[in-house]
Amino acid sequence: MTVARRPRPGPGRKVAVVTGASQGLGAVVTRLLAGEGYDLILVARHAAPLAALSNEIRSAGARVTEISGDVAVARTRSRIVAAVRPHRGLDLLLNNASELGPSPLPPLSRVALRALEQVYRVNVVAPVALVQSLLPLLERRHGLVVNLSSDAAVGGYPGWGNYGASKAALDLVSLTLAHELHDLGVGVVSVDPGDMRTRMHQRAFPGEDISDRPLPEATLPFWAWLLGRPNTEVTGHRFRAQSEHWGARA
């Protein structure tokens, strides 16, 4: 277990938590947030790539706390809360950490129930638990919660039932929380980033060439747009990060 490095909070700086931050889309959005001057609490299961990313953006002047751990584990979530608390508020919670499940993808009719439970622990239970634990800090800053969805949540694709069902549940979680937290000034959205050339996507298609998929950087214009919008304008929406019309509810 890696001990979190805790820089002193910067006065007046925005604060973000990014889970699944060490690679793929999480790393891309992390670099964007660092460039925008956010203080960052970065979370990932694998310590080495997390440390490499943290050192990269720290060398460019970002303030970073890194936490190596699984968001499905209560102790990891407690460490996240402890890292945010000295900042006295949270502007952005990006629930990007996701569990695909077994690879190759099995039919839902034959998926092991323990694998189904693990996917739900990471993709549904952990985001809800983090919102519950961080809500007082989100409320202080009128923060935004972004939950990462997938087109598998609405596609019913063979083999994707385990992962897709968890993301469909997360979509409903996002919409429900948006309604419940509206009067507290906390916004909640879900985002389908679209097909991307990532390690997780490659695991979904073992041995296949996925070089035709765009890199996660293709979503950067969307993220810059989303983070520039007031919560009241976006909360309750489900966005597609690679669509032509970001403002249209998906």
Length of the chain: 250
DSSP line for the chain: -PPPP-PPPPTT--EEEEES-SSHHHHHHHHHHHHTT-EEEEEES-HHHHHHHHHHHHHTT-EEEEEES-TTSHHHHHHHHHHHGGGT--SEEEE------SSSPPPTTT--HHHHHHHHIIIIIHHHHHHHHHHHHHHHHT-EEEEE--THHHH--TT-HHHHHHHHHHHHHHHHHHHHHGGGT-EEEEEE--S---HHHHHHSTTS--TTSPPGGGGHHHHHHHHTS-HHHHTT-EEETTSS-TTS--
Does the active-site annotation cover 163?
A: yes
Task: Give me the active site residues, please.
Answer: 163
